[in-house]
Structure 1
Amino acid sequence: MPEHVSMFQLVGLPVLALVTAICVVGLGRLRRRHRFEAAARRRHETLRAMPEQRRSGPATESVELTPEEHAAFAGLVRRFSDSRRP
């Protein structure tokens, strides 16, 4: 330890660097949190005119087709797919 430097000068610079680093990290976290909150607020405001979406849909229903109905449906599908081809 140099004789012409006091203890406060030796400890002061590392303490000042530590406080600066803590402030930089804290400000970075504050900016990031503010940015995410602002984005969420913008997203909510943008979709304000749209109705609220349901989280779950209606129960799924299914109907068994007879062989005749199945053949008729297959014929419709073929007819529509043929009409779409150039």
Structure 2
Amino acid sequence: MSEHVSILRSLGVAVLALTAVVWVILLTRILRRGRTRAGRRPAAPTLDALPYQAQAGPHLESVELTPAERDAFAGLVRQLSDGH
């Protein structure tokens, strides 16, 4: 070890190198696990962290507006868009 390099700097380099090695090992394990699961699962992408959703959501509802309600809504939109 060089006499001009402090112990803390040498320790920092060692910690960073060790962290990089651990990160690479974990990344390769995650990628391998994803590759082996892909062979058993259908091609559709899934997120393992989220639970399966039984239904897509509530049905869409619509209400027919009267001409007066349409005019009132159009007036409200004009009021809100005048400021922008």
TM-score where L is the length of structure 2: 0.44
Q: Which is richer in helix?
A: 1
TM-score where L is the length of structure 1: 0.43
